[in-house]
Amino acid sequence: MAVKLPRRAVMKVAIYDLDKTLVRKATFTPFLAFAARRLAPWRLLFLPVWIAMMLGYRAGLYDRTTLKTAGMRLMLGRAAQGQLGTVGREFAERHLASAGWIANVIAMVDEDRAQGAELIVATAAFEFYAKAFAERLDIPHVTATQWNGSAIPGGNCYGPEKARRVGEWLERHGIEGEMRFVSDSFADAPLLDRADHAVFVTASPAKAKRAQARGWRVIAP
């Protein structure tokens, strides 16, 4: 059961994406491979199928919710939620050992914490492993994609849906105030445009130019 916060206003809310924002590399495909290896190694034979499915998504054949649902079913089957929580924590440790945090962004987290900001991770990653990354940074709140063992209730926490869920979360907990949002993705434009302080993480000059044209601050990963 989610913890109900007392209704209060805070001076600052700091919201962070996960993949390529806090963590240097994307997480979903590495998680699928890691979890399959831990829970059902024979499913690694399906990795070429998963790659073909990603190509189908990029070709516009289906949306992200459909892709991620199929990937979970393909590579993990009907793994129990308890198993996924355990594997998610193990995966976070392994992934950080190889990929690491983005130091510039972690410095911002420390700055926001020192200023008393309410810290939130908002990500399209699945909650059962996104929480494991957030815990390592002592970030208490996570808004993420859900998994019920066979489907994604409510759809993928991505783009406008992520913005909707963050707004709903803030309203539900009575939290308001100056907002900073940090992301590497233009899919997060709804939240970046809403934030008082939008920060875009990229090493691409072309992406940096697009972000700056929208009034977002740009930092290198």
pLDDT of residue 147: 96
Q: Which amino acid is located at 52 in the chain?
A: A
H-run or E-run covering 31? helix 28-39
Name the β-bridge partners of 182.
Answer: 16, 199
- pLDDT attached to residue 38: 95
Burial-class residue 59 by CB neighbours within 10 Å (0-12, 13-18, 19+). Answer: exposed
pLDDT at res. 78: 87
32: region left, alpha or beta (phi > 0 left; psi from -120 to 50 alpha): alpha
Structure confidence at residue 3 (pLDDT): 47
Which pLDDT score is estimated for 81? 85
SS3 49: helix
Whether the CA torsion 204, 144, 38, 137 is positive or negative: it is: positive
Domains of the chain: 12-219 (3.40.50.1000)
Query: The tokens of 220 are what?
Result: 């290198």
Q: Residues for the chain: how many in total?
A: 221
Distance of CA 101 to the CA centre of its chain: 14
Q: What confidence score (pLDDT) does residue 1 get? A: 43
Token output for 168: 């709903």
Kindly report the number of other CB atoms within 10 A of residue 52's CB atom.
Answer: 9
Q: Using the CB atoms, write b or e for 73-85: b if 16+ within 10 Å.
A: ebbbeebeeeebe
Q: Give the whole-angstrom CA distance, residue 76 versus residue 174.
A: 37
Across the chain, which has 221 residues, the per-10-residue mean pLDDT values are 51 93 97 96 97 96 97 93 93 96 97 95 97 97 96 96 95 88 98 97 98 97 93
Between strands 141-145 and 118-126, the pairing is: parallel
